[in-house]
Amino acid sequence: MAGTGRAYVVGTFDTKGEELRYVARLLRDAGHEVTTVDVGTSDPDATAADVGPREVAGAEAFTGDRGSSVSAMSEALERWLPARDDLAGVLALGGSGGTALVTPALQRLPVGVPKIVVSTVASGNVAPYVGSVDLTLMYSVTDVAGLNRISRRVLSNAAHALGGAIAAPVPEAQDKPALGLTMFGVTTPCVSAVTEAVADRWDCLVFHATGTGGRAMEKLVDDRLVEAVVDVSTTEIADLVVGGIMAATEDRLGAIARTGVPWVGSVGALDMVNFGAPDTVPEQFRGRTLYEHNAQVTLMRTTPEECRAAAEFLADKLNACPGPVRLVLPTGGVSALDAPGMPFADAEADAALFDTLRERVRVDDDHRIVESPHHVNDPEFAATLVAALEEITGGRP
């Protein structure tokens, strides 16, 4: 049985029209209402789609230069597609160019809206296309260049996958408000203790702080799907300022500033920067304190200078947040490796981190620094985080 709303089938009808019409027909045959959207730029006035290129992008997008026209179309689709009030899910098809054109718009859609792209580049590095949303890339196997015994099967699978996602009943939302938490392997005991303490009152959404994890959490904050944040593991900032492989973007904490969501956070794992296997560590860092976390991840201890840089970034972001902020400092150590006798124990680096935050974070009635003498993974520190959360949310729920 078809669900409510329409399936949007999006692509360049000037080059992929046969394939796009094929998947649209399969969806209609399954009982779904379908809107086809042409984002081709070669001939904006000749389209067999329900929505033509000019309706998406306007006349100004078509300059006669392919590169600028494609860029303008991609930007226009980012604005146009999320504004549809009847959109139940999206299926797009494309090669490298088509995938790059449509996926920025799909990343703008809320988490939970089905998004499937059949693409020739789905077997490579897909991070730029997927971003931090629940976008499914399906490898086309053959090029998206006509219908054949392989492409028909792959495209049919994609169409029916979207149809199933649209038709399936949405699980009932929990009555509890959603709480976003960031966790890293070296802060797991802390986050587990916080989650256990508040799980009866909050629906706990834990995100792995690997760069993508922080972006995913903040995407939900921007979408108003998270009502408060316990940002224990801000380690992605260290990778950003030093050059690690699990970096945040410059927009880390931007969603908190835009929405004013209550934020409790800490400096979990800011003692480390992530690289890949040992032989991938950049040459300039080879003489540093390194720790092989596993065969694919090598950790590097941050220096006092790097800790100050991370603290400055964090402080500046927190100072821009209009909502309640509680920055909780674990002066007994910021990760499992930053403890007496452990490889990353470094009192000077920790002092640089804490002192910079004390100096730069704006403190007022809504913004406070809470200091704890405990280690980040001590039960007492988790209890301090929980108390701060209860304070800034008024004991909700």
Q: What is the pLDDT of residue 395?
A: 62
Q: What is the pLDDT of residue 386?
A: 98
Tokens of 268: 């979990």
Q: What is the 3-state secondary structure (H, E, C) of the chain?
A: CCCCCEEEEEECHHHHHHHHHHHHHHHHHCCCCEEEEECCCCCCCCCCCCECHHHHHCHHHCCCCHHHHHHHHHHHHHHHHHHCCCEEEEEEEECHHHHHHHHHHHHCCCCCCCEEEEECCCCCCCHHHHCCCCEEEEECCCCCCCCCHHHHHHHHHHHHHHHHHHHCCCCCCCCCCEEEEEECHHHHHHHHHHHHHHCCCCEEEEEECCCHHHHHHHHHHHCCCCCEEEECCCCHHHHHHHCCCCCCCCCCCHHHHHHCCCEEECCCCCCEEEECCHHHCCHHHCCCCEEEEECCEEEEECCHHHHHHHHHHHHHHHHCCCCCEEEEEECCCCCCCCCCCCCCCCHHHHHHHHHHHHHHCCCCCCEEEEEECCCCCCHHHHHHHHHHHHHHCCCCC
Query: Which helix (H) or strand (E) covers residue 62, if one does?
Result: none
Q: What is the pLDDT of residue 4?
A: 65
Query: Which helix (H) or strand (E) covers residue 175, if one does?
Result: none
Architecture of domain 178-392 in this structure: 3-Layer(aba) Sandwich (3.40)
- Do residues 120 and 96 make contact, with C-beta atoms less than 8 angstroms apart? yes
Q: What is the pLDDT of residue 378?
A: 98
Report domain extents, the chain.
6-167, 178-392
Q: What is the pLDDT of residue 178?
A: 94
Do 6-167 and 178-392 fold alike per CATH? yes
Per-residue pLDDT of the chain (397 residues; tens, 9 = 90+): 344 689 999 999 988 999 999 999 999 999 999 999 999 988 777 788 999 999 998 877 777 677 788 899 999 999 999 999 999 999 999 998 899 999 999 999 998 899 999 999 998 788 888 988 899 999 999 888 889 999 999 999 999 999 999 998 777 667 899 999 999 999 999 999 999 999 999 999 999 999 989 999 999 999 899 999 999 999 999 999 999 999 999 999 999 999 999 999 999 999 999 999 999 999 999 899 999 988 889 999 999 999 999 999 999 999 999 999 999 999 999 999 999 999 999 999 999 999 999 999 999 999 999 999 999 999 999 999 999 999 999 865 5
Q: What is the pLDDT of residue 42?
A: 82
The reported pTM is 0.79
CATH topology of domain 6-167: Rossmann fold (3.40.50)
